[in-house]
Amino acid sequence: MPEHTLILEASQILTCPGGSAPRRGKAMSDVGLLEDGAVAIRNGKVEAVGSQEGLRDRFPEAERIDLGGHVLTPGLVDSHTHAVFGRYRLDEYELRSAGVPYMEIARRGGGINASVRDLREHSESELVELGHARLRRMLEHGTTTAEVKSGYGLNPEDELKMLRVIQELAKEEWIDLVPTFLGAHAFPPEYRERREEYVDLVVREMIPAVAESGLAVFCDVFMEPGVYTPEQTRRVLEAAVQHGLVPRLHADEFESSGGAELAAEFEAASADHLGAISEAGIAALASSGTVATLLPGTLLFLGKTYYPPARRLIDAGAAVALATDFNPGSSPTVNLQVVMSLACSQLGMSPAEAFVAATANGAAGLRLADGRGTLEPGAPADVAAFDVPDYRLVPYLYGSNHCAAVWKRGVRAH
Ligand SMILES: [Zn+2]
């Protein structure tokens, strides 16, 4: 592999400047746009971004790649996925399309618990094979870093099995995975009538075992009326912090229950969904380091007619990220570009804000401190090339995959 590469003839380059800190307010509009530029890559890292002539003169010995008018951006960072699972849930999709609500399907034993039963029946090697193909599709859509959660095992053995699958998939060098323990995703069928006992199991057995295994960085909880109460969530997150796992939270997805406020109180890395966040929740996130991660694809796919208040979050000073929520029940897409389209047409975000949210702020929500999500000098050379002359066409020409090439740490991966 060439150690020194110069990617030339990009019609536009977005560097998404600002280091590893979350971008807030007006800073979310700064994509660091450069016209007719070039990117120099050395030993897997961005060495320089600048004018074509300047970099040609500076690095005459570098291997040259002529891109012919594409847009270059940091590799996309998908900071909320459930990418390890068994089968798709097509029968449930059909029920929902006939008007049966998601929470009703869950009460009938469908929803997350359908994936739990299914996951327990799959071997680790089967899950690795399924995951491998799905991650490959994420890469083809421009994603070079993804968070992946457990949460379909819901017992000590199967949760650890999921985390081992994520670890195995993370050995692929073309995509970086960040693992999250989500034992508090739902209540498994065998604990349906004994919810507090399941919380005990998560707190006393699963979190210590996960922490000891070193297989997860984060601990997440699905806090929502009918799922985890604020008190149960607090217990899980307290145990997580005690064991060195960093909190993140599924918060205020369908109904406001103080999830955003609790995430801010725990200094969580992110509060995710926020379709029903309260005014107090917006204020809490705006004055915290917690990234507001919005997943509008989920609400679209579930047929909801409301979206999270991205505009008010950004204007209040919160850092907003976008992610797919890729999962077999409520958001079976790997395409962050279409999530950006939703952000622009439904959430009132600009194309520039959508790109920052899907790159730098995704990385900030995963607490990645190496410059990922940017094309600044020193950052890993994770680069996505989109086959359009103007970056705004990526969300505008919605529904298609515009990603034509991807470099992971300077190596062509797609
Ligand atoms: Zn989720």
Distance from Cα 387 to the centre of ligand 1, integer Å: 30
Q: What is the pTM of this model?
A: 0.97
Distance from Cα 261 to the centre of ligand 1, integer Å: 18
Where is 106: in which H helix or E strand? helix 102-107
Distance from Cα 281 to the centre of ligand 1, integer Å: 19
Same domain, 146 and 108: yes
By percentage, how much of the chain surpasses pLDDT 70?
100
291-294 and 411-412: which strand pairing? Answer: unpaired
Distance from Cα 82 to the centre of ligand 1, integer Å: 6
- Tokens of residue 83, six digits: 């990418």
Same domain, 301 and 232: yes
Same domain, 392 and 359: no
Mean pLDDT of the chain: 95
Residue whose C-alpha is closest to residue 371's, from 61, 3, 77: 77
CATH number, domain at 85?
A: 3.20.20.140
Give the number of domains in the chain: 2
Q: Indicate whether 364 pLDDT > 80.
A: yes
Distance from Cα 365 to the centre of ligand 1, integer Å: 14
Q: Encode pLDDT of 176-224 as tens digits.
A: 999 999 999 999 999 989 999 999 999 999 999 999 999 999 999 999 9
Q: Encode pLDDT of 44-75 as tens digits.
A: 999 999 999 999 999 999 999 988 889 999 99
Q: How far apart are CA 324 and CA 80, in angstroms?
A: 6
Same domain, 57 and 168: no
Same domain, 268 and 355: yes
383-386 and 403-408: which strand pairing? Answer: antiparallel
Distance from Cα 370 to the centre of ligand 1, integer Å: 25
Distance from Cα 219 to the centre of ligand 1, integer Å: 12
Distance from Cα 259 to the centre of ligand 1, integer Å: 14
Q: Domain residues for 16?
A: 4-74+371-412
Same domain, 86 and 40: no
pLDDT level of residue 21 (50, 70, 90 thresholds): very high
Q: Indicate whether 2 pLDDT > 80.
A: no
Same domain, 61 and 139: no
Distance from Cα 44 to the centre of ligand 1, integer Å: 31
What does the pLDDT read at residue 172? 85
Alpha-carbon separation of residue 232 from 152, 187, 198, 259 (angstroms) = 19, 12, 10, 12
What does the pLDDT read at residue 372? 97
Q: From start to end of 176-326, where are the E strands?
A: 176-184, 218-222, 246-251, 270-273, 291-294, 320-322
Secondary structure of 347-388 in HEC code, one letter for each residue: CCCCHHHHHHHHCHHHHHHCCCCCCCCCCCCCCECCEEEECC
Distance from Cα 58 to the centre of ligand 1, integer Å: 46
Same domain, 66 and 106: no
Distance from Cα 77 to the centre of ligand 1, integer Å: 15
Same domain, 271 and 301: yes
Same domain, 318 and 388: no
Distance from Cα 73 to the centre of ligand 1, integer Å: 26
Q: How far apart are CA 179 and CA 171, in angstroms?
A: 12
Same domain, 214 and 145: yes
Same domain, 402 and 271: no
The residue out of 350, 365, 380 marking a domain boundary is: 365
Distance from Cα 205 to the centre of ligand 1, integer Å: 23
